[in-house]
Amino acid sequence: MKDIGYLKLKVNGYYYIYDTTTNALINVEEPVYHILDDYLISKNIPVLYKKYGNQMSADDISRAVNYIDSIMETVGMFQPHIRKDYTAILNSKKIEKLFSNNLKELFLNVTDQCNQRCSYCSFSGNYIGERTHRDVHMVWSIARNSIDYFLRGMRKHEETWISFYGGEPLFKWALVKKSIEYIKNKNSSPHLNIQLISNLTLCSDEILEFLMANDIHIQASLDGPQSIHDAARVTRNGRGTHKRVVDILRKIKKRNPDYYYNKVALHCTFNMNNDLLEVFRFFNNELFNGLIINVGGISERDTRSYPILDENIDKHRSNLDALVNKYLNSLRNNKKRFNYNLFSNLFPGVFDLARRRVSIQCAESHPNGICIPGIRRIFVSSEGFFYPCEKFNPKGYEIGDHETGLDIEKIMKLLEMYVEICDKMCQDCWAYRLCSHCFVSLLEKGTISKKRKMEDCRIEKEIIKKSFERFVYLWLNEPNSALNNKFSLHSRVKQFQSGG
């Protein structure tokens, strides 16, 4: 229905309904599932008897009607969409106050250049509006000013991060090292983390010793087995980099196991033309057990570099289902190694639903999944301009610079543009409380594209629906022992409900 937001799901013979009003997911009897649409439209019980009389008894229909009426009255489910006010976010004084001692992460893009030429890289030139591998490098004054600005405004008693990014940041190691030493001398907060995001191939023994001595977090790029990794992640002359990366990881683990397990993480860029199970098998071994492995996809918009074949899409979906069943089997037989952390990162939407807060919708709503530009992350370009994040840095959308700091007026203009399209397109959407849209994929020629928004909305709702189906499937099939595994769905729901 347009006026009331909900989603009906049938999984393994069980019937569930997600209700937008309360953000709740409930298990219902089959008659409720079938008559819900018609009853909410008309509330005409004789019509229900006439339409469903051959499928269910009058008592079944009556009980279903009474159940729907009951949860509408006592819990507040299935209420008409309220008019959402997204403009509450557009208060410059409130936003300016939010920036006071509230900054979370600083990204320093120390260079646009790289020693590799990964085929899917956003700098490759295949992506309209994206950067390329230019010989543009950050200078010390930009790094210093940006660090000083962040240290003055960062959260004091919560986790904060300063990350070095590129291109390849080790391409400008002297600047990275100088910046780390500067940060260490200026700030001794135990809550401030420093991170290097790198392909690792330029990491010498000297660099590695410095990183370990200073407790620097490393996020290294590794896409899976050699055949997959080396098909995309190559040097300028086309040579694969897999062996070099794995050798360095083994070296770190051998020299300092505590550092390896506490400070090293991996980023896997996954191409759906590749075999997911093969990638999972590679990471499901002793070398990577215990490491955080983040998984990201390839940006397919505005490029034909990576066309995904239909048969590979079907195979990928089948592999996802197979992996879910492997996960369930591992919970029943915990003697076999299984990378639970990687599994949950492959299904982020499913496990995000475990943290879904059940509450009545209110008129004052935050527009989709966007952050307030600048608070969650400041991305500093090589030239010293501030952007909302590393995924969103087209020319013309700067939100400040290293000399003047964040520009509230520019931040407000970005928010106003997004709020305007949300106000027009998101009012009657059943998925608005779960949506993860942001600016990243919607910009086109200086404005937010309605066409892109509509297409992304369709895809987003498909993803959310599939996530709910997998959530229910896992919920129904996880064994009781799952509560003893902190990565399981049951355990995460329990942790969230208990405030853990």
In the three-class reduction of DSSP (H, G, I as helix; E, B as strand; rest coil), residue 333 is classed as coil
Predicted confidence (pLDDT) at residue 124 exceeds the cutoff of 70: no
Show which of 355, 387, 406 is a domain's final residue.
355
Is the pLDDT reported for residue 61 higher than 70? yes
Of 355, 372, 400, the residue that ends a domain is 355
Question: How much is the mean pLDDT over the chain?
Answer: 91
**Quick one: pLDDT at residue 498?**
80
DSSP state of 177: H
Task: Say if residue 228 is in the same domain as residue 250.
Answer: yes
How many angstroms separate the CA atoms of 97 and 127, rounded? 37
2, 137: one domain:
no
Are 285 and 326 in the same domain?
yes
23 backbone φψ class: left, alpha, beta (φ>0; ψ -120 to 50): left
Show the 3-state SS of 345-398.
HHCHHHHHHHHCCCCCCCCECCCCCCCCCCCCCEEECCCCEEECECCECCCCCC
Residue 132 scores a pLDDT above 80: no
If you write DSSP's letter for every residue of 206-261 in order, what string do you get?
HHHHHHHHTT-EEEEE--SSHHHHHHH-BBTTS-B-HHHHHHHHHHHHHH-HHHHH
Q: What is the pLDDT of residues 12-45, one digit of tens each?
A: 999 999 999 999 999 999 999 999 999 999 899 9
Please list the alpha-helical segments (H only) found in 45-123: 45-52, 58-74, 92-98
Report the distance separating Cα 1 and Cα 169, nearest Å: 51
Task: Determine contact, residues 349/18, Cβ cutoff 8 Å.
Answer: no
Quick one: 125 and 218 in the same domain? yes
Domain final residue pick, 355, 388, 419: 355
Range of 274's domain? 92-355
310 shares a domain with 239 = yes
State the average pLDDT over residues 414-439: 88
**Number of folded domains in the chain?**
2
Query: 474-496 burial, b if ≥16 CB within 10 A, otherwise e?
Result: bbebbbeebeebebbbbbbbeee
pLDDT for position 47: 92
Residues 197 and 231 in one domain: yes
Q: Within this chain, do residues 8 and 146 fall inside the same structural domain, yes or no?
A: no
DSSP character string of 125-153? S-STT--B--S-B--HHHHHHHHHHHHHH
Q: Which of 343-357, 375-389, 428-442 has the lowest mean pLDDT?
A: 428-442
The reported pLDDT for the residue numbered 86 is 85
Give percent of the chain above pLDDT 70.
95
Residue 1 — very low, low, confident or very high, per pLDDT cuts 50/70/90? very low
249 HSE (CA, 13 A, CB side): 23
Q: Which pLDDT tens digit goes with each residue over 216-250?
A: 999 999 999 999 999 999 999 999 999 999 999 99
Digit-coded pLDDT (tens) for 260-278: 999 999 999 998 889 999 9
Looking at the structure, tell me whether residues 100 and 185 fall in a common domain: yes
Instruction: List the CATH number of the domain containing 224.
Output: 3.20.20.70
Q: Are residues 145 and 263 in the same domain?
A: yes
Answer yes or no: is pLDDT of 127 > 60.
no
Q: How confident is the model at residue 500 (pLDDT cuts 50, 70, 90)?
A: low
Comparing 299 with 57, the larger pLDDT belongs to: 57
Segment among 52-56, 304-308, 392-396 with least mean pLDDT: 304-308
Are 133 and 32 in a shared domain?
Answer: no
Neighbours of 262 (CB within 10 A): 13
Degrees (nearest 5) of the Cα angle 171, 175, 177?
100
Summarize pLDDT for 174-223 with one digit per residue, the tens. Answer: 999 999 999 999 998 899 999 999 999 999 999 999 999 999 999 999 99
- Domain-located, residue 210: yes
Res 130 pLDDT > 70: no
| Residue 320 belongs to a domain | yes
Both 295 and 341 in one domain: the answer is yes
> Is 28 found in the same domain as 174?
no
Joined tokens for residue 149: 């600005």
Interval 315-371: pLDDT, tens: 999 999 999 999 999 999 877 889 999 999 999 999 999 999 899 888 777 777 678
Q: Are residues 78 and 18 in contact, defined by beta-carbon separation less than 8 angstroms?
A: no
The rounded Cα 193 to chain-centroid distance in angstroms is: 20
pLDDT value of position 112: 92
> Looking at residue 129, what is its pLDDT?
54
What pLDDT is attached to residue 414? 87
* Helix, strand or coil, per DSSP, at residue 9: strand
What's the pTM? 0.90
Tell me whether residue 397 is in a domain: no
Q: Does the pLDDT value for residue 85 go beyond 80?
A: yes
Per-residue three-class SS string for 267-324: EEEECCCCCHHHHHHHHCCCCCCCCEEEEEECCCCCCCCCCCCHHHHHHHHHHHHHHH
